[in-house]
Amino acid sequence: MDTNELELNEEQQLDIDNITEALAEFVSNVLDRLVDKIREGSKGWNDPKAVTPMAIKEHLLKDANLTLKGHPKEIDIAARAMFLWHRRNHNINLKSEAEKEKGNEQ
């Protein structure tokens, strides 16, 4: 549902403004982190042959566990979630991953 179609009270509009500002800052931080990693030579975020979806998921879970210990890994978690989201929404290697998992079940 489009929030522009709803009539918002002052408190709701303030919440939307605040979350919009927080999201813009967060996205900027994620982008800065990814640019830094590319400059360091990291690649493969959208190439399943270079980095498998399972590897991304394993790193995401590892980072999530580190946050439980107080490590600030939210930016890395968001980046990895975006990698998976991008691959899923652009059908990058979904068929071959599904075939691999099916083969492992046999």
What is the per-residue pLDDT across 29-51, written as a single tens digit (0 to 9) for each?
999 999 999 999 999 998 888 99
pLDDT computed for residue 48 by the predictor: 86
pLDDT digits (tens, 9 = 90+) for 78-97: 999 999 999 999 887 655 55
Q: Cα dist. 4→10, 18, 29, 55 in Å?
A: 14, 16, 27, 39
Percent of the chain topping pLDDT 70: 82
Please state the domain extents for the chain.
8-42, 44-106
Q: Does pLDDT of 102 surpass 70?
A: no
Nearest one of 15, 10, 91 to 53, comparing CA atoms: 91
Residue 66, Cβ density class (10 Å: 0-12 exposed, 13-18 middle, ≥19 buried) = middle
